[in-house]
Amino acid sequence: MMELVTKNYWWPGIIRDVEKYIKGYNMCQQMKNRTEVLVEKLKLSEVLKRLWMHLIVDLITKLPVVAGKNTILAVCN
């Protein structure tokens, strides 16, 4: 695990910080409350013969607020 972190990052005390994070990880995951509903697997759309005949629209919500916005509108042809 340490090789993966130190391959791209370094700071004074990196080994101590990573070991501390790893030791606390299991407890953090066990204590975490899931408030969102789990979603189903994504389904592939069929390939259309003519473009722009049908649109698929989706909203990605509950994102961190940036410039007063927290949603992305995704439009696929």
Higher pLDDT, 69 or 32: 69
Check: pTM over 0.75? Answer yes or no. Answer: no
Output the pLDDT for position 21. Answer: 81
- Rounded to whole angstroms, the Cα distance separating 23 from 28 reads 10
Q: What is the pLDDT of residues 8-56, one digit of tens each?
A: 888 898 888 888 887 777 766 666 666 677 777 877 777 767 777 778 8
Q: Which sequence spans correspond to the domains of the chain? A: 2-76
- Rounded to whole angstroms, the Cα distance separating 18 from 7 reads 13
Output the pLDDT for position 52. Answer: 73
- Rounded to whole angstroms, the Cα distance separating 46 from 33 reads 37
Output the pLDDT for position 72. Answer: 92
